[in-house]
């Protein structure tokens, strides 16, 4: 059932022209940025050659590229999550799911995984672009993998937060702005506090992404993302149940 | 073999629901049998839609119990809802999908086994007249077709209980007739509840009528009986050369004479003795020149108005009554 709901989400997304437009624009931005960082590496190469333990092409290209994608996703994810529940409510199609023989967790997870699969497809071009460098050089696959896992976890936390905020309202625009506000707020809390030990860092998903970004797999960061996502998903389920109770 | 399907398909007991301080539904009890079509009538805001939402599990009642095919809706919602088909006021459509995609999705959602889906799809499309639009995007269809897709999604898994909230809204007269025939047909094997404003719909389709007002069921009977309710015995007589009204009132059995025009009179009598024949003989004798004699028919509409206004008179609206 979860798979059925997820597939329905994806099919609906691909049935809309706006999705294809977004895919095209994003692909353009991703590749532009990739070529830019690659150019930086090529410019730096003569100086790097003189260093004893110089950073490789993977870290010079991958780290800024994934960092940029993480920031971009922060602004993109709300545009996709706003549709999940708020728009279904507005179109009155949510009743179909409520009156179908489904548990609340199936509805929530179906929507969550549907969007996760779509976003995985959307960002899959990035590792592919980096992989093309393997034609000419040796790549640091560990760093690449660390970044991919980090990005996946980060996206999961964004999507679950967006899903929760989408379940609070029947207005997709409010859901989008609300999610964006919370995500940007968390990000600002992170970058605005200059003290390294400030607790503000700990609540920001982007802060926890930094370790992954530099190729460090830290279980406490992974735990943060999982807890963040699970709490948001549980809140969403609670909200949908309350919807039945309070109308 | 043990009878797997109980005769009573849906039972709701003492449903109560309030939103904040407003009591919307109070003590509504319903019972449906297999092969029955129930019409839920009522003015705007009477609580028809809320009742239906509660019966389909979209809204939890504050108190009361709902059983679908003997399964408690609040305790085993998934199992209970698999016997249910629901068309809300606005059909729940994914406008970006095509009709086939949408109906396949709904069929799987409602637990139709994958091998049976193709059959269910063809059958449902045929009975709802959707064959010609199979591959069209739902958003591009006209309102009438969207409504039909809405009905199709409610019946594709052949549920025991079908709940339709104003199913014929937005359809043209030809389509209305088709959909009514379809509902009638469905009603032979399933239980159908439909809410409507159209009394003609109740007259032609429903076996039983429940009238709701201010969140209460105020009247419940078969639709044939309902027409009997408040029946007036009388006729309108048109005489080209009429006698004074008093002469008519003197005829044995006539209780009331009301002149409608120079030549027309509305005559009421006790239901037991019909003075029609006496009147005819007298008309012959006195050369009243009888033109027309039409028996008075109580339409369902009159009865409906009579029932609801009677209720209105001795009951002030409880919407807004603090609890």
pLDDT tens per residue, range A221-240? 999 999 999 999 999 999 99
Q: Are residues B74 and B174 in the same domain?
A: yes
Question: How many domains does chain B fold into?
Answer: 2
The end-to-end CA distance of chain B, in Å, is: 49
Q: Is A11 on the interface with B (CB under 8 A)?
A: yes
Give the distance from residue A244's alpha carbon to the nearest chain B alpha carbon, in angstroms: 4
Of B209, B228, B247, the position where a domain reaches its end is B228
Q: Are residues B50 and B168 in the same domain?
A: yes
ipTM of the prediction: 0.87
Structure confidence at residue B298 (pLDDT) = 63
**Cβ count near A14 (within 10 Å):** 14
- Those residues of chain B that have pLDDT short of 70 are 1-6, 224, 226-233, 271-273, 297-300, 313-323
Mutation target to probe the B interface, by most B beta carbons within 10 A, among A6, A15, A100 is A100
Q: What is the CATH number of the domain that holds B221?
A: 3.40.50.300
8 Å CB contact of B109 and A4: yes
Inside any domain, residue B119 = no
Q: Domain limits at B243?
A: 234-295
8 Å CB contact of A245 and B60: yes
Structure confidence at residue B213 (pLDDT) = 84
pLDDT of A16 over the 70 cut: yes
- Start-end of H helices in chain B: 48-55, 77-81, 99-109, 114-128, 143-155, 173-189, 199-205, 223-228, 245-249, 276-286, 300-313
Residues 6+ apart with CB under 8 A from B239: B263, B265, B283, B288, B289, B290, B291
Q: Is B92 on the interface with A (CB under 8 A)?
A: yes
Q: Are residues B223 and B238 in the same domain?
A: no
Q: Is B33 on the interface with A (CB under 8 A)?
A: no
Q: Is B251 on the interface with A (CB under 8 A)?
A: no
Question: How many domains does chain A fold into?
Answer: 1
Taking the C-alpha atoms of residue A204 and residue B299, their distance in angstroms, rounded to an integer, is 69
Q: Are residues B69 and B176 in the same domain?
A: yes
Q: Is A242 on the interface with B (CB under 8 A)?
A: no
8 Å CB contact of B92 and A93: yes
Q: Is B224 on the interface with A (CB under 8 A)?
A: no
Q: What is the CATH number of the domain that holds B291?
A: 3.30.70
CB neighbour burial string for B24-37, b if at least 16 within 10 angstroms, e if fewer: bbbebebbbebebb
The dihedral through the CA atoms of A100, A106, A111, A113 has a sign that is negative
8 Å CB contact of B86 and A99: yes
Taking the C-alpha atoms of residue A11 and residue A209, their distance in angstroms, rounded to an integer, is 30
Inside any domain, residue B135 = no
Residues 6+ apart with CB under 8 A from A33: A65, A68
Taking the C-alpha atoms of residue A194 and residue B127, their distance in angstroms, rounded to an integer, is 68
Q: Are residues B75 and B168 in the same domain?
A: yes
| Nearest-Cα residue of chain B relative to residue A15 | B96
Structure confidence at residue A51 (pLDDT) = 80
Residue corresponding to tokens 């590792």? A127
Cβ atoms B60, B153 nearer than 8 A: no
Inside any domain, residue B309 = no
Of B175, B196, B228, the position where a domain reaches its end is B228
Q: Are residues B222 and B188 in the same domain?
A: yes
CB pairs under 8 A between A and B: 73
Q: Is B57 on the interface with A (CB under 8 A)?
A: yes
Inside any domain, residue B88 = no
Inside any domain, residue B126 = no
Mutation target to probe the B interface, by most B beta carbons within 10 A, among A99, A110, A245 is A99
Structure confidence at residue B272 (pLDDT) = 64
Mutation target to probe the B interface, by most B beta carbons within 10 A, among A6, A83, A91, A95 is A95
Give the distance from residue B155's alpha carbon to the nearest chain A alpha carbon, in angstroms: 12
Residues from chain A contacting residue B109 (CB–CB below 8 Å): 1, 4-5, 96-97, 100-102
- In 3D space, the residue among B294, B290, B236 whose CA is nearest the CA of residue B265 turns out to be B236
8 Å CB contact of A95 and B93: no
Q: Domain limits at A131?
A: 2-45+54-246
Structure confidence at residue B23 (pLDDT) = 86
| Nearest-Cα residue of chain A relative to residue B20 | A246
pLDDT digits (tens, 9 = 90+) for A90-145: 988 999 999 899 899 999 999 999 999 999 999 999 999 988 888 888 888 888 88
> Among residues 84-113 of chain A, which lie with CB inside 8 Å of chain B?
91-103
pTM of the full structure: 0.84
Q: Is A49 on the interface with B (CB under 8 A)?
A: no
8 Å CB contact of B88 and A92: yes
> Among residues 115-174 of chain B, which lie with CB inside 8 Å of chain A?
137, 153
| Nearest-Cα residue of chain A relative to residue B86 | A99
Q: Are residues B26 and B55 in the same domain?
A: yes
Mutation target to probe the A interface, by most A beta carbons within 10 A, among B94, B99, B106, B107 is B94
Of B205, B228, B251, the position where a domain reaches its end is B228
8 Å CB contact of A100 and B109: yes
pLDDT of A43 over the 60 cut: yes
The dihedral through the CA atoms of B287, B288, B292, B295 has a sign that is negative
Structure confidence at residue B320 (pLDDT) = 43
Q: What does pLDDT average to over chain A? A: 90
């Amino acid at each position: 059932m979860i798979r059925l709901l997820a597939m329905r989400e994806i099919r609906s997304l691909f049935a809309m022209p706006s999705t294809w437009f977004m895919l095209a624009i994003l692909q353009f931005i991703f590749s532009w940025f990739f070529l830019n960082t690659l150019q930086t590496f090529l410019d730096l190469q003569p100086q790097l050659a003189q260093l004893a333990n110089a950073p490789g092409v993977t870290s010079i290209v991958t780290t800024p590229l994934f960092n940029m994608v993480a920031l971009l996703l922060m602004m993109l994810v709300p545009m996709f999550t706003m549709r999940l529940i708020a728009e279904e409510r507005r179109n009155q199609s949510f009743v179909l799911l409520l009156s179908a023989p489904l548990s609340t967790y199936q509805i929530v997870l179906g929507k969550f995984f549907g969007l996760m699969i779509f976003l995985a497809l959307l960002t899959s071009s990035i590792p592919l672009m980096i992989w093309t460098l393997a034609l000419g050089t040796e790549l640091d696959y560990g760093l690449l993998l660390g970044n991919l896992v980090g990005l996946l976890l980060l996206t999961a936390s964004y999507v679950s937060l967006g899903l929760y905020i989408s379940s609070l309202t029947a207005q997709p625009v409010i859901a989008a702005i609300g999610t964006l506000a919370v995500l940007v707020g968390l990000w600002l809390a992170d970058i605005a506090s200059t003290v390294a030990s400030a607790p503000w860092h700990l609540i920001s998903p982007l802060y926890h992404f930094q370790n992954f970004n530099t190729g460090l797999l830290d279980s406490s960061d992974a735990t943060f993302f999982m807890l963040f996502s699970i709490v948001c998903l549980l809140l969403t389920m609670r909200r949908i149940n309350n919807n039945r109770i309070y109308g | 073999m043990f009878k797997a399907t109980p005769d009573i398909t849906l039972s709701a007991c003492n449903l109560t629901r309030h939103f904040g301080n407003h009591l919307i539904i109070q003590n509504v009890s319903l019972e449906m049998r297999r092969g029955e079509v129930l019409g839920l009538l009522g003015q705007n805001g009477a609580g028809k839609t809320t009742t239906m939402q509660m019966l389909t599990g979209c809204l939890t009642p504050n108190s009361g119990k709902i059983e679908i095919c003997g399964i408690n809706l609040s305790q085993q919602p998934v199992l209970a809802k698999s016997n249910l088909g629901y068309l809300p006021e606005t059909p729940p459509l994914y406008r970006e999908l095509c009709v086939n995609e949408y109906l396949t999705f709904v069929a799987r959602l409602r637990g139709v086994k994958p091998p049976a889906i193709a059959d269910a799809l063809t059958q449902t499309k045929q009975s709802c007249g959707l064959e010609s639009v199979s591959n069209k995007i739902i958003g591009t269809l006209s309102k009438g077709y969207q409504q039909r897709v809405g009905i199709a999604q409610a019946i594709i898994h052949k549920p025991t209980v079908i709940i339709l909230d104003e199913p014929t809204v937005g359809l043209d007269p030809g389509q209305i007739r088709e959909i009514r025939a379809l509902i009638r047909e469905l009603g032979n094997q399933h239980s159908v509840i439909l809410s409507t404003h159209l009394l003609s719909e109740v007259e032609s389709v429903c076996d039983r009528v429940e009238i709701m007002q201010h969140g209460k069921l105020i009247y419940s009977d078969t639709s044939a009986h309902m027409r009997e309710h408040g029946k007036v015995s009388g006729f309108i007589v048109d005489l080209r050369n009429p006698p004074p009204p008093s002469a008519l009132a003197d005829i044995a059995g006539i209780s009331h004479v009301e002149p409608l025009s120079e030549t027309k009179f509305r005559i009421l009598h006790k239901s037991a003795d019909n003075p029609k024949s006496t009147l005819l003989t007298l008309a012959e004798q006195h050369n009243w020149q009888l033109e027309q004699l039409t028996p008075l028919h109580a339409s369902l509409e009159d009865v409906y108005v009579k029932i609801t206004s009677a209720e209105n008179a001795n009951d002030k609206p409880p919407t807004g009554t603090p609890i």
